[in-house]
Amino acid sequence: MAQKLEFVGTVQFWPNGARGNPVALFMEKTESGECRISARMPGWQHVVGVGATVNKAAGNYELNLKAAASADGAYEGPYWNDGIKAEKPAPPKPPAPPAPSRAGGGPADAPPVPTGDTPAPPSA
């Protein structure tokens, strides 16, 4: 089966501080339904954005491009075609605070449990 590539946008690199030609970005949909965005230029084929939708793949591509070309002014863009809005992945959730452990086993503000020989306090 032939690969179907769809043009989805461009990215402009600035090699050695001089503006280069725009590089086309293409999206291919795998048999599993996953979207993959990448350039077909040999020097940048290793930067790939993957996601369940083209918008998620675009957001993933932007993150991977920032990691691969991290120098300030190394590139301009990417510029996406109409209708594509890069979705950034949700930030990781902070770890849950550890549960307090006490020797008594109960919370610090818990009222004392009445025993059979002392009367319970009146309830309001």
> How buried is 118 (Cβ within 10 angstroms: 0-12 exposed, 13-18 middle, 19+ buried)?
exposed
Q: Is residue 64 part of a domain?
A: yes
The domain in which residue 22 lies consists of 10-80
Q: Is residue 110 part of a domain?
A: no
pLDDT digits (tens, 9 = 90+) for 87-102: 887 777 788 888 776 6
Q: Which pTM does this prediction carry?
A: 0.62
Amino acid occupying residue 48: V
Q: Is residue 122 part of a domain?
A: no
Residue 1 has pLDDT above 50, yes or no: no
Q: Label residue 78 by pLDDT band (50, 70, 90).
A: confident
- For 17-30, what is the mean pLDDT? 84
Q: Is residue 1 part of a domain?
A: no
Q: Is residue 56 part of a domain?
A: yes
Q: How many domains is the chain built from? A: 1
Q: Is residue 120 part of a domain?
A: no
Q: Taking a C-beta distance cutoff of 8 angstroms, is the pair 45, 11 a contact?
A: no
DSSP of 40-70: -SGGGTT-EEEESSHHHHHHHHHHHHHHHS-
Return the percentage of the chain with pLDDT > 90, whole number.
20
